[in-house]
Amino acid sequence: MNVLILEDEPLIAQGLEREVRAHFGTRLTALALHDNVEQALAALRQHDYDLLLLDLNLHGADGYDLLRLAQKAPFQTIIVSAHAERSITAFEFGVLDFVAKPFSHERLHKALQRYTGLHTQAASLAVKKRGALEWIAMAEIDHVQADGHYSNIVLRSGEQCFHDLPIDKLMALLPPHFLRVHRSYIVNSLGFKRLQIAAGGKYTLDTQTSTGIPVSRSSYPALKQRLLD
């Protein structure tokens, strides 16, 4: 895997490098350090990175500008910043975690573990619950419904929570067992229960938690095969 660290304080950058190398060990293929947005953006355009550790105040520039400019790049982001009051904005970019400075070894390790968990299908996802930012396990999600430019997440418990990303971008953060069954719905296939043909040739899906989730005609054959496997 390839990691990019964007941090303008040399001692902190060195500390992050040590932690990343210690955490990923031999899985780490390449690690690059930059201290300004322009250099980091050029690096992201030239190479494929899996994980970005991002400071928000870079010689006066805003680290969020990098995410705005590189929003289609397929990397995960952990923000490491002293500006904890800006954590809600991080949520809008689908950031994996927000680590406040000064950080401990344990706190950074937890953030890196979130990335590791994402690729072992045991990850968590940041959502808005009760006006605060919380993390839920992917396994708790029953399905996701599009809500305009946002997403409504329905948990297996029946509880609902909110994500600022539209369903297309949220889909990119979910493990492979989450399937797009309709333009407005993503479903956790581990909770599939029943696929039904309704009147008029319409298809619906039942999970262990929910019933009547619409299924598009194009998705029906693959879902039928999944339930038969």
Does the pLDDT at position 212 exceed 90?
yes
Which pLDDT score, from 0 to 100, does residue 120 have?
Answer: 52
Which pLDDT score, from 0 to 100, does residue 134 have?
Answer: 82
Written in H, E and C, the secondary structure of 158-206 is CCEEEECCCHHHHHCCCCCCEEEEECCEEEEHHHEEEEEEEHHHEEEEE
Task: Look up the CATH number of domain 125-228.
Answer: 2.40.50.40
Virtual CA dihedral for 131, 135, 150, 172, nearest 10 degrees?
Answer: 170
Under the phi-then-psi rule, with left for phi > 0, alpha for psi from -120 to 50, and beta for the rest, what region is 26?
Answer: alpha
Contact between residue 183 and residue 176 where contact means Cβ atoms under 8 Å apart: no
Do domains 2-121 and 125-228 share one topology? The answer is no
Which pLDDT score, from 0 to 100, does residue 216 have?
Answer: 93
Please give the share of the chain, as a percent, with pLDDT higher than 70: 93
The Cα–Cα gap between 229 and 213 comes to 21
Q: What is the mean pLDDT of residues 203-229?
A: 84
Answer whether the bond into residue 102 is a cis peptide, omega within 30°: yes
Q: What is the mean pLDDT of residues 169-177?
A: 82
Q: Express each pLDDT in 19-76 by its tens digit.
A: 999 988 888 899 999 999 999 999 988 888 989 999 999 988 998 889 888 866 678 8
> Of the candidates 210, 207, 206, 190, which has an alpha carbon nearest to the alpha carbon of residue 198?
206
Which pLDDT score, from 0 to 100, does residue 121 have?
Answer: 47
Please give the share of the chain, as a percent, with pLDDT higher than 90: 38
Domain ranges of the chain: 2-121, 125-228
The Cα–Cα gap between 128 and 31 comes to 32
Element (H, E) at 40: helix 37-46
Does the pLDDT at position 206 exceed 70?
yes
pTM to 2 decimal places: 0.55
Does the pLDDT at position 78 exceed 70?
yes
Looking at domain 2-121, its CATH superfamily turns out to be Response regulator (3.40.50.2300)
